Chain A
Amino acid sequence: MQHYSGFGLLKHSFSHHENWQRVWRNPTPKKKYDVIIVGGGGHGLATAYYLAKEFGVTNVAVIEKGFLGGGNTARNTTIVRSNYLWDEAAHLYEHAMKLWEGLSQDLNYNVMFSQRGCLNLGHTLQDMRDIQRRVNANRLNGIDGEVLDAQQVKEIVPVLDCSDRARYPVMGASWQPRAGVARHDAVAWGFARGADTRGVDLIQQTEVEDLIIEDGTVVGVRTARYGDIRADRVGCVVAGNSSVLAKMGGFELPLESHPLQALVSEPIKPILDTVVMSNQVHGYASQSDKGDLVIGAGIDGYNGYGQRGSYSTIEHTIQAIVEMFPVFSRVRMNRQWGGIVDTCPDACPIISETPVKNLYFNCGWGTGGFKATPGSGHVFAASLAKGEMHPLAKPFSMFRFHNGALVDEHGAAGVAH
């Protein structure tokens, strides 16, 4: 792999950047792989990367129906934090957080992970009780966090309206300094490049149309473009399309597929230094390095696969943002878009074996899986490599919906990202 660095840029500038290597090959698939990953989003690519790098499994293909990282990975608002309430979730997201903290160097690709901190605002007494509870749990789980009062919040975000004028005045917040944002495309591309160099075949523009199952065991996938491709193990990481893939496997998942929208303002000079989220007022915002305010809120209520939502959701989102940040009223919205998120009844993911032998699913990340990308990939890779679920993944078995061992993160995941 060609090493990237500032010095490299200087060197290549003398040859007018004509000699940069390809970031990844464009291979024709082999007949058979040890592991096939369906879905070339961030999670799928991270899985392939760690399979090759950490677990020595390099005979791997990632099969993606569109272009790499073009699903929710390309559409999300990139909030990364690990301040989840329950131990199971907190440990999983914190595992990801630790990987994020060295990811650019590990991948030799700057994923622009920017730990500018995240505030989850409280506007009611119950909000504040929940914040106390969550931050206390985080602290005892070794995750950074503090409870701030309105005055301290105001000091961190001067443009936030912390006055009594607001309909739901800010009473305080939880503050995770290590939280932040990252460059979504770079995450997908960095993992893809790292996987490709280690021998993983990245097969783009190839839709998996069926799973080949013999005697209750998956033995490969069927594609229109390349026909059957066989594999010892298959991992499905297809986010909003998970129910479709599960159907091919002959079982159902407790997932609802909803549109989730986001929007950006035009780029403006730096004004918002951290991520600010509010469940009660229902919106969140951060500012990208390019100057755009990156904004979102909740899902659209209906189910569907069309990657766009209704305008009323956009209106509510902007109302919340202007309510929280009245000085943004004259800023202008540039673009809006939507993705399809796969939400679980307990707002936690499914990383699991399935009723089909050798078939594994990693899905249900809903509105907030970007933050888990490296951690999700890592534990899924470990599970696929060993044929046994990683300890951090075990609580997220799909069978928890049968036995009732839910990990209810609705509180921590309210305006969930």
Chain B
Amino acid sequence: MIEFQHVSFAYEKDRPVLRDLSFRIEKGEAVGLIGANGAGKSSVMKLLLGLLQGEGKILVDGVEVRKDTLAEIRRKLGFVLQNSDNQMFMPTVYEDMMFAPLNYMLTREEAEARVDAVLARLHLEHLKHRYNHKISGGEKRMAAIATVLAMEPEAVLMDEPTSALDPYNRRIVINTIRELDQTRIITSHDLDMILDTCDRVILLSEGRIVADGKASVLLRDRELLERNRMELPLSIMGRPE
């Protein structure tokens, strides 16, 4: 459902951030986009969402990402930002969750039914009427995921969803991601999380794809990971061969 064809991108001339990326993600796949800091993971997502414009072609369900198709494409893609403080802008969790459905012309009743369904599914009913600035970091991350799910997107993109979370909240986020049935693209250098949530991994280094394959295989390849400034997941490191 998502396809990159020879995509290149640079913020500043002569300093390419992404070089000739091509890959295809099928409907329902869960793909981990991994790489060291600055590898270009976030940029890939922003290109897909049309927040940045590069060279080459990006297709979502066969429709090219262009200015005139943005509204249609963005409706299909839910993006969980790395910093939840920047994601939530309405006073309460409830209002934030209502924002997208109402913009997409659902009635208040329909939107509210959606919001309640998502909250129930994520076991977050207690957050509904809380103020965004008065909930903890972990709660805010979950609330941010909830606002995106309330859009009922066909694909969910998450930029480092476990960054800055304690182990308990990290586990909650991981379990939530595992239970989603949408197409998922998740960036992270938390490889344990990727191993837990993704079947496939695309490894980026200095703006190029250096590996693309099964998570259970690539994430065991110590040499490959270390060459690209990453380490084996702890869960694999601790396991005898």
State whether these chains interact. no
Using a CB–CB cutoff of 8 Å, the interface residues on chain B facing chain A are: none
